[in-house]
Each structure stands twice: as C-alpha cells, then as structure tokens.
Amino acid sequence: MTKDLKDKVALVTGASRGIGKAIAFKLAAHGAKVIVNYARSSHEADEVVAKIKADGGDAIAMQAKVNDPEAVKAMFDSIEKAFGAVDILVNNAGITKDQLLMRMSDEDFDTVIDTNLKGTFYCTRQAVRPMMKKKYGKIINLSSVVGFAGNAGQLNYIASKAGIHGMTKAVATEMGAKGIRVNTVAPGFVQTEMTDVLDETIKKSMVDKTLLKTFGTVDDVANAVYFLASPMADYITGQVIHVNGGMYL
C-alpha cells in the first residue's frame, strides 16, 4: 500500500460507521492521520480508531455535530492542537428523513438541510483558512445519485445533495488559486445502516436500475474518495465523480 498521504491530516465527518468508516480506514492505510468524527456513536468511533491503530495507522476520535457551527469550530481548534491543520476534509456526515412532499414537516426538512448542507458549509468554512496559508488542501464532499436523478419521498435529502453540487463548484471557483481542490463523490445505492431500513422491494428496484445489477460497497466509494485525496488527482477540481454502477448516466 503506497503511503502517499503520509504527513497529511484528514478529517472524515460521520466516520463511526458506513461509508465514512471505510473512508477513514482507506485514508489511514495510505498514511494519513485520521480524525474520526461522530455525533452520537462514541463506542463505534473508538472501535474505528482502535482498528486503524492496530493496523499501524494513526487516528483520534472526535465528537461534534456538524450541524452545530460552534461545535465544528471547537473541533477544528482541537484538531489543530493535537495534529496540526486539516489537509484533507471529507464532508461525509449525512442523514435522511424521508417523506412525500405533502406530508413533510418543517422540522424534517430543516434537520436534513442543517446536517447535510449546512454541516458541509460549516466544516468547509473552518477548513479553508489554514489550507489557504499552506496553499494546499483537498475538500471532498459526499452527495448522492438522487441529487441528480431525483427520487420520490426524499425532497429534503435531494435538495441538500443538489446544494452540495452547487457548493462544490462555488468553493472550487473561490479557492482554486489558493491550491485548494474541491470535489464531490456521488454514490448510488450502497449497503449501510442508512439503506438497511428500506424495504426489500425498494432495494430490489434500486439494484434493477443499475447497469451492473448489484449494490455498491462502502469500499467502492472509499476508493473514489482516496483517489481525489491523493496526488493522482491534483489537477482535478470542481467535479463530481459518480460511483453508482451505471444507475444514472
């Protein structure tokens, strides 16, 4: 395994399970010092850190709700003290609260926008200042195939993910001259706790929509994030990489 992220500090939000956990393992395996952020699952985050350390890597768990700007600022301050400034930010933390438009409450709309879209904004805003000083930084956002294709019953989630596509272009445009690359990975249907709650008919219809006729894995997504974080992708910014088995062309 190449250690091409050696000396890099990587913050992965929502890394206690699912896709974020796989990203944390992948970046650590390539030599990054990883901050395993979580909101509630401290035990699971500690287990991710323990596994990274057992495999010879370096990591620390850090609690902060990405939808709380004060907590986000405090997390970045603590990271800087413990490890130095963040070089690679992966805005992965995300939630769903699915409901059809006519039944969607203000609260369910706001909660999803606050975590997925505003959380990405709060973390990005904190990350860029030291990145600008270093004239180097990688910001990788997680969106979703439904942010392009749409889907019934997910308007809050889809609005948050489509917003991330716009934010990616806006921040890439502002920050390109400072050496900060901003990209997004848009997964299709990946088996995690987020999708485990869906009923079998929906899961089958999602798989049927792919050209490859299979679910994606958390590693499929982590590989794309690692590619963007690595020097191999240094000339890529403002882009979306689709990892969806051909679900949306």
Ligand X SMILES: NC(=O)c1ccc[n+]([C@@H]2O[C@H](COP(=O)([O-])OP(=O)(O)OC[C@H]3O[C@@H](n4cnc5c(N)ncnc54)[C@H](OP(=O)(O)O)[C@@H]3O)[C@@H](O)[C@H]2O)c1
State both tokens at 5.
């992220």
Closest CA to 15 of 38, 31, 32, 33: 38
Q: Binding to ligand X (CB under 6 A): which residues in 95-114?
A: 95
122 classed as catalytic: no
Question: Shortest Cβ distance from residue 82 to ligand X (Å)?
Answer: 18
SS3 17: coil
Q: Binding to ligand X (CB under 6 A): which residues in 39-98?
A: 39-41, 65-67, 92-95
Q: Which is nearer to ligand X, 115 or 210 (CB)?
A: 115
d(CA 4, CA 119): 28
Q: Which is nearer to ligand X, 183 or 192 (CB)?
A: 192
State both tokens at 246.
């051909």
Cβ–Cβ < 8 Å for 62, 79: yes
Residue with tokens 């603590």: 78
Site string for ligand X, 175-214 (x = CB under 6 A): ------------x-xx-xxxx-------------------
SS3 135: coil
Does residue 134 touch ligand X according to CB under 6 A?
no
Question: Shortest Cβ distance from residue 22 to ligand X (Å)?
Answer: 8
SS3 184: strand
Which of 5, 12, 13, 75 lies at the binding interface for ligand X (CB under 6 A)?
13
Q: How many CB atoms lie within 10 A of CB 27?
A: 29
Pick the catalytic residue from 38, 122, 136, 157: 157
Does residue 20 touch ligand X according to CB under 6 A?
yes
Size of the site for ligand X (CB under 6 A): 31
CA angle 234, 89, 48 (to 5 degrees): 120
Contact residues for ligand X (CB under 6 A)? 13-20, 37-41, 65-67, 92-95, 115, 119, 142, 144, 187, 189-190, 192-195
